[in-house]
Amino acid sequence: MPKLSRESLSESDISRLIEMAWEDRTPFDAIEKSFGLSESMVIELMRKELKRGSFELWRKRVTGRATKHMALRSDDVNRAYCPTQYKNK
Protein backbone atom coordinates (compact mmCIF):
# COMPACT_ATOMS: atom_id res chain seq x y z
CA MET A 1 0.00 0.00 0.00
CA PRO A 2 1.43 3.43 -0.85
CA LYS A 3 2.35 5.87 1.87
CA LEU A 4 -0.52 8.24 2.65
CA SER A 5 -0.58 11.61 4.32
CA ARG A 6 -3.20 12.25 6.99
CA GLU A 7 -5.07 14.61 4.67
CA SER A 8 -5.41 11.99 1.93
CA LEU A 9 -6.95 9.27 4.11
CA SER A 10 -10.47 8.15 3.21
CA GLU A 11 -13.12 7.58 5.86
CA SER A 12 -12.57 3.82 5.57
CA ASP A 13 -8.79 4.30 5.95
CA ILE A 14 -9.33 6.40 9.07
CA SER A 15 -11.74 3.80 10.46
CA ARG A 16 -9.26 0.97 9.86
CA LEU A 17 -6.39 3.00 11.26
CA ILE A 18 -8.35 3.71 14.46
CA GLU A 19 -9.22 0.01 14.72
CA MET A 20 -5.55 -0.93 14.35
CA ALA A 21 -4.51 1.68 16.92
CA TRP A 22 -6.96 0.22 19.47
CA GLU A 23 -5.76 -3.35 18.91
CA ASP A 24 -3.24 -4.30 21.57
CA ARG A 25 -1.12 -6.50 19.32
CA THR A 26 -0.92 -4.16 16.33
CA PRO A 27 2.34 -2.21 16.70
CA PHE A 28 2.73 1.37 15.53
CA ASP A 29 5.31 0.07 13.05
CA ALA A 30 2.59 -1.94 11.28
CA ILE A 31 0.36 1.15 11.10
CA GLU A 32 3.26 3.14 9.66
CA LYS A 33 3.98 0.44 7.10
CA SER A 34 0.31 0.30 6.04
CA PHE A 35 -0.59 3.99 6.13
CA GLY A 36 2.69 5.90 6.21
CA LEU A 37 1.86 7.61 9.51
CA SER A 38 4.40 7.73 12.32
CA GLU A 39 3.40 7.07 15.93
CA SER A 40 3.14 10.80 16.62
CA MET A 41 0.93 11.27 13.55
CA VAL A 42 -1.32 8.40 14.73
CA ILE A 43 -1.59 10.09 18.13
CA GLU A 44 -2.55 13.37 16.40
CA LEU A 45 -5.15 11.63 14.28
CA MET A 46 -6.61 9.80 17.28
CA ARG A 47 -6.79 13.08 19.22
CA LYS A 48 -8.68 14.66 16.32
CA GLU A 49 -11.03 11.75 15.55
CA LEU A 50 -11.93 10.48 19.03
CA LYS A 51 -13.94 12.11 21.79
CA ARG A 52 -11.68 13.51 24.49
CA GLY A 53 -12.49 10.77 27.02
CA SER A 54 -11.97 8.03 24.45
CA PHE A 55 -8.66 9.55 23.40
CA GLU A 56 -7.48 9.76 27.01
CA LEU A 57 -8.45 6.11 27.63
CA TRP A 58 -6.61 5.05 24.48
CA ARG A 59 -3.47 7.04 25.38
CA LYS A 60 -3.43 5.60 28.87
CA ARG A 61 -3.85 2.12 27.38
CA VAL A 62 -1.07 2.30 24.76
CA THR A 63 1.51 4.35 26.66
CA GLY A 64 4.39 2.02 27.40
CA ARG A 65 2.51 -1.06 26.16
CA ALA A 66 5.19 -3.42 24.90
CA THR A 67 3.04 -4.93 22.15
CA LYS A 68 2.47 -1.51 20.55
CA HIS A 69 6.21 -0.94 20.13
CA MET A 70 8.31 -3.44 18.20
CA ALA A 71 11.47 -2.58 20.16
CA LEU A 72 9.73 -3.46 23.46
CA ARG A 73 7.88 -6.48 22.10
CA SER A 74 8.78 -9.99 23.21
CA ASP A 75 10.12 -12.32 20.52
CA ASP A 76 7.28 -14.68 21.51
CA VAL A 77 4.74 -12.29 19.94
CA ASN A 78 4.86 -12.95 16.24
CA ARG A 79 1.35 -12.01 15.11
CA ALA A 80 -0.71 -8.84 15.09
CA TYR A 81 -3.93 -10.22 16.56
CA CYS A 82 -5.28 -12.76 19.00
CA PRO A 83 -5.91 -16.17 17.36
CA THR A 84 -9.58 -16.06 18.46
CA GLN A 85 -10.20 -12.51 17.25
CA TYR A 86 -11.50 -13.35 13.78
CA LYS A 87 -13.26 -16.66 14.41
CA ASN A 88 -16.71 -17.02 12.84
CA LYS A 89 -19.54 -16.96 15.34
Q: What percent of the chain has pLDDT over 70?
A: 69
C-alpha–C-alpha distance, residues 20 and 81, integer Å: 10
pTM of the entire predicted model = 0.69
pLDDT digits (tens, 9 = 90+) for 37-57: 999 999 999 999 999 999 999
- Greater pLDDT, 49 or 76: 49
- Greater pLDDT, 52 or 76: 52
Q: Which of 44, 16, 40 is nearest to 28 (CA)?
A: 40
C-alpha–C-alpha distance, residues 85 and 58, integer Å: 19
C-alpha–C-alpha distance, residues 75 and 17, integer Å: 24
What are the sequence ranges of the domains in the chain? 8-68
81 with 26: CB under 8 angstroms?
yes
Q: How much is the pLDDT for 89?
A: 46
C-alpha–C-alpha distance, residues 72 and 58, integer Å: 18
- Please check the confidence at residue 1 and state whether its pLDDT lies above 60: no
